[in-house]
Amino acid sequence: MNLDNARQAFIEEVAELLQSMEDALLALEDNLQDAESLNEVFRAMHTIKGTAGVFGYNAVVEFTHTVETLMDQVRSGQRPLTNPLIATLVECRDHTERLVEFFSEASLEGDAAGGGALDEGLREAGDALLRRLGQPIAPTESVESRSTDRASGKFLPVSSDTWMITLEFGSDAFRNGMDPLSFLRYLGSLGDLVHVSTLLRMDPERPEAFDPESCYLCFGIAFRSDTDKATIAGVFEFAEQDCEIRILEPESEQAKYLDLLGAVHEDQVGTIGELLVHVGALTRRELERALMTQEAEAGLQSPGSEIRRRLGEILVAQGSIKPSVVEQAAKTQEAVRVRRQEESHFIRVDARRLGHLIDLVGELVTSSAAIRVIVNRAGIDDASEVVDGVDYLVSEIRDNALQLRMVPIEDCLSRFRRVVRDACQELGKQIDLVITGGETELDKTVIERMIDPLTHLIRNAIDHGIETPDVRQAAGKSPGGTLNINAFHDSGHIVIEIADDGAGLDSARIRAKAEARGLVKPEDSLSEEEVLRLIFAPGLSTKEQATNLSGRGVGMDVVRRNIEELRGSVELESELGVGTKITIILPLTLAIIEGFLVASGEDKFIIPLSQVVECVEMNIESTPGRHGNGQHYINLRGEVLPFIRLTELFESRENRSIEQRESLVVVRFGRHRMGLVVDGLLGELQTVIKPLGKLFERLHGVAGATILGTGEIALILDVTELAAVDQVGHPSTNAMLTTH
Amino acid sequence: MAKTILMVDDSASLRSVVAIALRGAGYDVIEASDGRDALAKLAGQKVHLVISDVNMPNMDGITLVQELKKQPSYRFTPIMMLTTETQPEKKEAARAAGAKAWLVKPFQPPMLLEAVSKLVLP
Amino acid sequence: MNPPQEPLEDAPGFVFKGELTIYTAAESYARLQDFMVAHHRCALDLSAVSEIDCAGLQCLLRSVQLAEREGKRLMLAARSQVVDEAIALLHLGSAFGIDASHSEQDAS
């Protein structure tokens, strides 16, 4: 993985974390006591902060740090969680997204450092947010400030004198992985090791006492460097537990410190200790040790100075607070850990790899069909059995491979909570979003391509469908509207319903508008449903003025086209004043389907098996009728069924003999049924969908093509489109093949 | 002979940035996504330093430290934990398990390299 | 202060190879001690030592310390570059009877 890939991975990680943060925030809006969600928000900020650091995205680190700190206060009960605070946190989430976007774009443009100047507007926006959170804007301990402290040299200048350092390593140092050699080597990189005396604290007279794994070494080092005390102490920071470290300043300096300390009043010693730490004379650790000693002394000579006792009390108090803090933190960490473990049942796989696997499985399906054909032709019974076994395995592999790409639709639908929430605020509406069937699984590639159309439909429902509270109340409805999204499986398809209890569609207005646009003629007789479907026609928008939300230049025709590109269909029900329901029916996957192979004239066609209801022999006596506009009808057990003769549709054969036996395949799409008249039924077939080339992409009624085991090509029929072509248009094949 | 560092973190992006920095400084790096992955990838090969995150799926950093301390090949190997200032109790647990070095997230690669150099030079 | 140099070829050789670290310290030390029990002099060959740490150095220091107490001689006759670097860093040349200025040549 190179740095660019790492950045890309970071952006993806951030996107996921922000999504879960958003989900958690929305959950908190419903239930302010939801501790799990609270942790989730904290965790998202916390993790982003941690990773942004390595990329040097300091602004991200600072911002997320502040939010994280606030979340920590909320978690520990120091700050109450309120709805306005959640609203601000949602904006913080968005701001984080923008920051990460900013830096990822900056790094694309070659600003590899990434830590470059933050856009002024972004910074101000961030500061404003933090002010609203009531957090100090100054970054507490940013990466930047930490790393520059040392270099800036704002502390007492240290002359190039010799420091004296003594190191007494504890016996466990080696066992703890501490190698004094490493520390000295590193120290050597900061200055000059003028002299090192290495001593073995062992009694030569007692050879048996030596344990080679214990450390008996101590060092005295004369060190010459321009660096400050904190840096020198920092060299040994990891050895602190295993080493007694004493660092003596170059003499010229020490005198200064002594003077300083001598001049202070006793009361100020604690403060002065802090000061010395700041000035670079004492390390924090030394001060702590000094305070600890003070406490110990106070214990011995009890009536001693009051300050000492106070220091001691503070330390004790700190010690007594700790257990409960630890306990609380351990609990929350445990919750995070459990969650993590749940997540760990998953493996991340590059989507392209899966795509490749599915392509290969597709080839395998085709090859296996080819073997089947050859074996049948050769008439080898033994081989036939083996082929049956292979077929079974191939279909299992296919199903499993496709299953890999299945993800719960919830992942896609949950984002709409946010869409709805924001829209409500903007439009002053009250809308309750109810999602059911979120666990329904669907091919990830289908889901991704459904996001835009779904967003549009949902925005439409919010914007045009559900009325404002006063309008609703005037109409005798509850002030709050409901938007239902329901997903479920239905015979090899997934159905997504978007239903609102809003104003519904006014079919009269749609009709009027369609006539005005010349989409229908005034004399055309259209059913209520056909009129409603007109909103899917290009260039028809129901609202005079497109709003900020739905009016993004994307019409319902684009929604329909997006869905149809996925071999799906969309239906519409609406009742004026009661509501609108849009039903989207999608295939589960884009790659492979169970098909039903039929012959028509010279050609072979595949009908998606999931849409086949039944096959009946075409009975000449049932005398198919013909409607005025050229549509065929047949009486099937008393039901009038429109049908299409494929040979006519595709002009696949002119000289048809009357005696030719025909079959009727009854198919369904949505709530409709129709018949397809074919010459022969060739059976079920696993069908790998090959997209048609550019030349044929406008070919209506055909979803794709597949290669049969014999090497022949069969077209895959799109039943819904066929019906539309036959109804709305005219059964002329020429019309179907026009390339716009 | 280049020194080998085992880098364990469940964030692929963080891990790879760290690995890039370490390799740039002349170390060999073995990357692992969690404790279990780390133990599998080590499989007895020599490492001079282990850098590990604390909170990870499958096996967290503290358990990893405990496991490493049990294995003859790794019981003396220095371990640096990537901790955060918000979880002092984790630091204590890691210390008890045998990790002796810490780096606080967030950090930038130069800080990491500096900390690593104190324990192992390339 | 340094003991008089004696010809190396007279001293029985003892070889450390590969790692001379905390991981091998206990075993290395025990082997060297066993060897020293049977010999009065030893020319230690560290030219094949690929890695050394303070635990390794400490074993050598202790062995030299014990040898001196018993009036024996333990010489670091040949040393790899890593060994020389470590000795130079800790200024241990004199403790091991090595003239620092010659260590580079010995190392090869």
With 90 as the cut, is the pLDDT of residue C40 above it?
A: no
Helix/strand/coil for A193: strand
Of A539, A563, A587, the last residue of a domain is: A587
Percent of all residues in chain A with a pLDDT value above 70, rounded to a whole number: 71
CB proximity C25 to A under 8 Å: yes
Instruction: Give chain B's contact residues with C (Cβ, < 8 Å).
Output: 1, 73, 76
State the average pLDDT for chain A: 73
With 70 as the cut, is the pLDDT of residue A335 above it?
A: no
- Choose between A723 and C16: higher pLDDT: C16
Report the alpha-carbon distance of residue A266 to residue B24 in Å, rounded.
Answer: 52
Over residues A116-120, the mean pLDDT reads 68
Indicate which CATH number applies to the domain containing A171: 3.30.70
Report the alpha-carbon distance of residue B96 to residue B65 in Å, rounded.
Answer: 10
Question: Nearest residue on chain A to C57, judged by CA atoms?
Answer: A181
Within a domain: residue A268? no
Q: Residue B80 — very low, low, confident or very high, per pLDDT cuts 50/70/90?
A: very high
Nearest chain B Cα distance for residue A397, angstroms: 28
With 90 as the cut, is the pLDDT of residue A663 above it?
A: no
Q: Residue A737 — very low, low, confident or very high, per pLDDT cuts 50/70/90?
A: very low
* pLDDT (tens digit per residue) in A182-209: 888 888 888 888 777 777 877 666 766 7
Contact B57 A183 (CB under 8 A): no
Interface probe, candidates B54, B55, B108, chain A, greatest A C-beta count within 10 A = B108
With 80 as the cut, is the pLDDT of residue A98 above it?
A: yes
Over residues B40-56, the mean pLDDT reads 90
* pLDDT (tens digit per residue) in A558-569: 888 888 878 788
State the average pLDDT for chain C: 81
Over residues A480-492, the mean pLDDT reads 84
A229 and A108 in one domain? Answer: no
Binding partners of B (≥3 Cβ pairs within 8 A): A, C
| Strongest mean pLDDT among A202-206, A384-388, A591-595, C30-34 | C30-34
Q: Residue B52 — very low, low, confident or very high, per pLDDT cuts 50/70/90?
A: very high
Within a domain: residue A283? no
Helices (H) and strands (E) in chain C, counts: 4, 3
Over residues C17-34, the mean pLDDT reads 91
CATH class of C11-102: alpha beta
Indicate which CATH number applies to the domain containing A90: 1.20.120.160
Q: What is the DSSP string of C28-40?
A: HHHHHHHHHHH-S
Contact C53 A188 (CB under 8 A): no
Q: In degrees rounded to 5, what are phi and psi of residue B110? A: -60, -35
Nearest chain B Cα distance for residue C53, angstroms: 11
Place of tokens 């390799």: B23
With 80 as the cut, is the pLDDT of residue A570 above it?
A: yes
Over residues B8-18, the mean pLDDT reads 90
Of A587, A613, A646, the last residue of a domain is: A587
- Residue A303: cis peptide before it, omega within 30 degrees of 0: no
The tokens for A536 are 């899917």
Helix/strand/coil for B17: helix
Question: Nearest residue on chain B to C21, judged by CA atoms?
Answer: B76
A183 and A65 in one domain? Answer: no
Percent of chain A that is helix, strand, coil (3-state, to 5): 50, 20, 30
| pLDDT for the residue numbered A620 | 55
Using DSSP bridges, classify how beta strands A702-707 and A672-678 pair: parallel, antiparallel or unpaired: unpaired
Q: Chain C contacts of B1, Cβ < 8 Å?
A: 50-51
Within a domain: residue A270? no
Within a domain: residue A281? no
Q: Residue A346 — very low, low, confident or very high, per pLDDT cuts 50/70/90?
A: low
Nearest chain C Cα distance for residue B44, angstroms: 13
Question: Nearest residue on chain A to C64, judged by CA atoms?
Answer: A204
* pLDDT (tens digit per residue) in A619-632: 655 555 655 555 67
Within a domain: residue A269? no
Sequence ranges of the domains in chain C = 11-102
A715 and A673 in one domain? Answer: yes
Q: Residue A320 — very low, low, confident or very high, per pLDDT cuts 50/70/90?
A: very low
Nearest chain B Cα distance for residue A125, angstroms: 23
Contact A213 C91 (CB under 8 A): no
A576 and A617 in one domain? Answer: no
Percent of all residues in chain A with a pLDDT value above 90, rounded to a whole number: 2
Q: Residue A275 — very low, low, confident or very high, per pLDDT cuts 50/70/90?
A: very low
* pLDDT (tens digit per residue) in A211-226: 889 988 888 777 888 7
Q: Chain B contacts of A239, Cβ < 8 Å?
A: 100
Q: Chain A contacts of C86, Cβ < 8 Å?
A: 181
Nearest chain A Cα distance for residue C39, angstroms: 17
Within a domain: residue A334? no
A6: left (phi over 0), alpha (psi -120 to 50) or beta: alpha
A121 and A51 in one domain? Answer: yes
Report the alpha-carbon distance of residue B83 to residue B64 in Å, rounded.
Answer: 14
| pLDDT for the residue numbered A302 | 44
- Choose between A120 and A342: higher pLDDT: A120
| pLDDT for the residue numbered A323 | 30
Report the alpha-carbon distance of residue A302 to residue C102 in Å, rounded.
Answer: 62
A145 and A31 in one domain? Answer: yes
Indicate which CATH number applies to the domain containing A728: 2.40.50.180
Report the alpha-carbon distance of residue C45 to residue C35 in Å, rounded.
Answer: 13
| pLDDT for the residue numbered A734 | 35
**Contact, A701 vs A649, CB < 8 A?**
yes
Sequence ranges of the domains in chain B = 4-119
Q: Chain B contacts of C85, Cβ < 8 Å?
A: none
With 50 as the cut, is the pLDDT of residue A266 above it?
A: no
With 70 as the cut, is the pLDDT of residue A263 above it?
A: no
The correct answer on CATH 3.40.50.2300 for the domain covering B4-119 is yes
| pLDDT for the residue numbered A623 | 55
Is residue A46 classed exposed, middle or buried when 0-12, 13-18 and 19+ CB atoms within 10 A define those classes? buried
C 2-31 residues with CB < 8 A to B: 21-23
Contact C22 B73 (CB under 8 A): no
Which range (A348-362, A430-444, C5-19, C43-57) has the least confidence? C5-19
ipTM: 0.87
| pLDDT for the residue numbered A530 | 80
With 70 as the cut, is the pLDDT of residue B48 above it?
A: yes
* pLDDT (tens digit per residue) in A382-419: 788 888 888 888 878 877 887 787 888 887 887 788 88
With 50 as the cut, is the pLDDT of residue A143 above it?
A: no
Is residue A543 classed exposed, middle or buried when 0-12, 13-18 and 19+ CB atoms within 10 A define those classes? exposed
Contact A176 B98 (CB under 8 A): yes
| pLDDT for the residue numbered A283 | 57
Q: Residue C48 — very low, low, confident or very high, per pLDDT cuts 50/70/90?
A: very high
Q: A497 lies in which domain range?
A: 408-587
Report the alpha-carbon distance of residue A674 to residue A500 in Å, rounded.
Answer: 30
The tokens for A395 are 């279909």
Of A405, A426, A445, the last residue of a domain is: A405
Question: Nearest residue on chain B to C81, judged by CA atoms?
Answer: B1
Alpha helices in A405-543 (DSSP H): 410-413, 415-427, 444-460, 469-474, 507-516, 528-533
Contact C23 B1 (CB under 8 A): no
